Amino acid sequence: MAAPFVLVVLAAVTVRAALYRSSLANFIAERVEVASPLNAWKRVVEGLALLDLGVSPYSGDIFHETPLIIYLFHFLIEYAELVFMITDVLTAVALYLAIQDFNKVVFKKQKLLIELDKYAPDVAELIQTPMEMHYIPLKVALFYLLNPYTVMSCVAKSTCAINNSVIAFFILATIKGSAFLSAVFLALATYQSLYPLTLFAPALLYLLQRQFIPIKLKSKSFWLYTMQYASLYLCSLVVIICLSFFLLNSWDFIPSVYGFILSVPDLTPNIGLFWYFFAEMFEHFSLFFVCVFQINVFFYTIPLAIKLKEHPMFFMFVQLAIISIFKSYPTVGDIALYMAFLPVWSHLYRFLRNIFILSCVLIFCSFLFPVLWHLWIYAGSANSNFYYAITLTFNIGQILLVSDYFYAFLRREYYLTHGLHLTRQDGTEAMLVLK
């Protein structure tokens, strides 16, 4: 599998290098869908220039990156393009290895359940075979590297790529079973943008499953392991934050980074849902609605954890999607990460109900974003409502995509245990309906 993977990597690197040399690089770097105030490359350069002039980069409203990014780019700023290409390749490698291991785990679990006769007799066609699972890691790497969203994000040199890379390594560490590394990478990811905090739950569930610790609230080993993992995570987070203090000898970065993410002061339009709402809102209510919107991101963790406790990787996927949709400054780079996982659940294809319309919605909205932006900002014949409409449609498309996959997954699980041909009590054919 190494050779096709290397080919894919080469193709991806060529595409990115070609785009870097073309005039599109500047155009893409300016687009609001790709560069948000949190991860725009322009702001990184500005922050480093301010530092060279002796001013703290957090003193204005320009720079919202963490001190570790300052440290990283202080030495690598001349090689920025190489750095981002290597980051993308590393992400792809991490995802490839992760999904390879995950496939083995899935297969083993499936075999176990078949031997335990947990499956109904007529579900042979639903079982995943190694043949079809063989190419999934390659497809995942392909989906990530050659996704136009990723390419645009890389060409724009948005630090979202670094965030994606850290999350990919976190997933790799989780799947390999190393609680320590997984906690460290999760701490790094949370440190950079706050939202991967919610990925703590799926990682914990996966590790518990791997250690064969049953997830019962009364079980002592469950709480022990949870405490261990949580303490590892929190300690590494605290250590990293304290270390960043020593870079600039000030705690300025905390309000600049975390305060900025949580309080959403910058209302530049992006593909998210925050900007329009808060641009229209009265000051009096803004605190309340900021809290509501932020809770919305973290809110789905517990219900999903309860429902998907047997399937932590799917939970991870859904959680990543929720983060990308509901975070305060989403960009297409975040979307690219969870879309990379779609080949892992390609066996759900027969249960997906709206996949055609949703893919059309997503593709059309992606094309309409620059069109309506141009009409609004440059031609002046549209207004912000047009752009907001496309944002809404795009996010609705994403949400429906995620819920479609969720429903398809649950449906497949149901069929696996209850058989494909469902019958009611009186013997007639039944339909599975989501209530």
Partner 1 sequence: DQAEQFLRSGHTNNWAVLVCTSRFWFNYRHVANTLSVYRSVKRLGIPDSHIVLMLADDMACNPRNPKPATVFSHKNMELNVYGDDVEVDYRSYEVTVENFLRVLTGRIPPSTPRSKRLLSDDRSNILIYMTGHGGNGFLKFQDSEEITNVELADAFEQMWQKRRYNELLFIIDTCQGASMYERFYSPNIMALASSQVGEDSLSHQPDLGIGVHLMDRYTFYVLEFLEEIHPASQTNMNDLFQVCPKSLCVSTPGHRTDLFQRDPQNVLITDFFGSVRKVEITTEALSLDREVAAVESKFPDEELATEPLKYAEQLPVAQIIHQKPKQKDWHPPGGFILGLWALIIMVFFKTYGIKHMKHVF
Residues near partner 1, by CB under 8 A? 51-54, 68, 70-71, 74, 178, 180-181, 184, 239, 243, 246-247, 249
Backbone angles phi and psi of 331, in degrees to 5: -135, 170
DSSP summary character for residue 319: H
Measure the CA–CA gap between 150 and 89, rounded to whole angstroms: 11
**Minimal distance in Å, beta carbon 60 to partner 1?**
17
Largest CA distance in the chain: 81
Among residues 249 and 381, whose Cβ is nearest to partner 1? 249
Residue with tokens 């725009």: 40
Among residues 246 and 356, whose Cβ is nearest to partner 1? 246
**Minimal distance in Å, beta carbon 75 to partner 1?**
9
Among residues 58 and 195, whose Cβ is nearest to partner 1? 58
**Minimal distance in Å, beta carbon 184 to partner 1?**
6
Among residues 70 and 273, whose Cβ is nearest to partner 1? 70
Among residues 72 and 262, whose Cβ is nearest to partner 1? 72
User: For 79, how many CA atoms within 13 A lie in the half-sphere containing its CB?
Assistant: 9
> Which one-letter amino acid corresponds to residue 307?
K
What's the distance, CA 378 to chain centroid?
Answer: 32
User: For 384, how many CA atoms within 13 A lie in the half-sphere containing its CB?
Assistant: 12
Among residues 70 and 199, whose Cβ is nearest to partner 1? 70
For the packed helices 80-115 and 67-76, what is the interaxial angle rounded to 10 degrees?
120
**Minimal distance in Å, beta carbon 402 to partner 1?**
33
Backbone angles phi and psi of 386, in degrees to 5: -65, -50
Specify the 3-state DSSP secondary structure of 120. Answer: coil
* Share of the chain residues as helix, strand and coil, in percent rounded to the nearest 5: 75, 0, 25
**Inter-residue contact 57 to 71 (CB < 8 Å):** no
Residue-level length of the chain: 435
CA dihedral 278→322→338→357, nearest 10 degrees, is -80
Among residues 70 and 189, whose Cβ is nearest to partner 1? 70
Tokens encoding 78: 């001349």
**Inter-residue contact 268 to 62 (CB < 8 Å):** no
**Minimal distance in Å, beta carbon 68 to partner 1?**
8
**Minimal distance in Å, beta carbon 34 to partner 1?**
28
**Minimal distance in Å, beta carbon 236 to partner 1?**
9
Among residues 182 and 328, whose Cβ is nearest to partner 1? 182
Q: Is the four-CA dihedral 285, 286, 291, 293 of positive or negative sign?
A: positive
Among residues 75 and 378, whose Cβ is nearest to partner 1? 75
Tokens encoding 293: 């919107």
Specify the 3-state DSSP secondary structure of 329. Answer: coil
**Minimal distance in Å, beta carbon 213 to partner 1?**
22
**Minimal distance in Å, beta carbon 119 to partner 1?**
37
